[in-house]
Amino acid sequence: MKKILLTSHHNEIESEKVFGLPSVVVQDYKVFPFHAEGALPLVVPALTFSRNELRAMVAETDLVILTGGHDVDTARYGESVRYPTVEVYSCRDDIEFGLLEAAVELRKPVFGICRGLQVINVFFGGSLHQNLHHDVSGTFGHCQPKEDIEKLLHPIMIESDSFLSRIFPESPEIMVNSFHNQSVNRLGNGLSVSATSSDGIIEAIEHTVYPIYAVQWHPEKSYRVDVASQQLIRAMVAL
């Protein structure tokens, strides 16, 4: 059974009121698709880890999953916060950037989901639209209601010779959900675009050297009802 290191939502504010420490929140939908595909998900706790500790975690697992959640600290791409919608959790940033550093060093595969894609882009020197609906003219709504967890919202166009084209060789477009108000602005070094939406938003990326892949949507949310989501999760577990 493959071991998957899986990050999850950090709720620093509420838990600090009670314990003085951040906490990890793990929704079932983030875990069960990977277990259903034969992997053992291991969730990273919201603690302060040394570089060596993070490296040891990555060394003992087969795949790192960077899941969705709140926003990457704007200071990591050289900007100040411009909108009240930006919510930053430094503990999670520290963990995920450290895990990525270790994964690159050890050549371990990484799969980023939503925020995970944004973390990967910033890690490699890219930047983000802090609020794409303010920063990008002509974009359609990319943040559907949270209760529509399994609903697919819009198509994405898959680039030829990308990791997605290998997963979906007969489907240049697939339908995806959408739960994000940030997106890639400047693409990071060594990254290539794997898919876009019709309004030009980058929906998937991959690294040209390392086994690092990411999507802006949430296949784990639509896993139960969508065949394409199942195929994508299955392919990532098989990395």
On average, the pLDDT of the chain sits at 90
Coil, strand or helix at 173: strand
Q: Is residue 85 helix, strand or coil?
A: coil
Q: Is 220 a catalytic residue?
A: yes
Q: Which of the residues 12, 96, 114, 203 is marked catalytic?
A: 114
User: Quick one: residue 75, left, alpha or beta (phi over 0 = left, psi -120 to 50 = alpha)?
Assistant: alpha
Of 79, 76, 200, the C-alpha closest to 137 is: 200
pLDDT for 25 beyond 80: no
CATH of range 2-237; options 3.50.50.60, 1.20.210.10, 1.10.3720.10, 3.40.50.880: 3.40.50.880
Q: Are the C-beta atoms of 98 and 223 separated by less than 8 Å?
A: no
Predicted confidence at residue 12, as pLDDT, reads: 54
Please state whether beta strands 154-158 and 212-215 pair in parallel, antiparallel, or not at all (unpaired): unpaired
User: Could you say which of 96, 203, 206, 220 is catalytic?
Assistant: 220
Number of C-beta neighbours around residue 185 at 10 A: 18
195-218 pLDDT tens trace: 999 888 999 999 999 999 999 999
Locate the domains of the chain by residue range: 2-237
Q: What are the pLDDT digits (tens) for 134-184?
A: 888 777 777 767 777 788 988 999 999 999 999 999 999 999 998 888 999
pLDDT (average), residues 23-28: 70
Do 221 and 150 form a contact (C-beta atoms < 8 A)?
yes
Q: Which position among 129, 180, 207, 218 bears the catalytic label?
A: 218
pLDDT at 77 over 70: yes
The reported pLDDT for the residue numbered 28 is 74
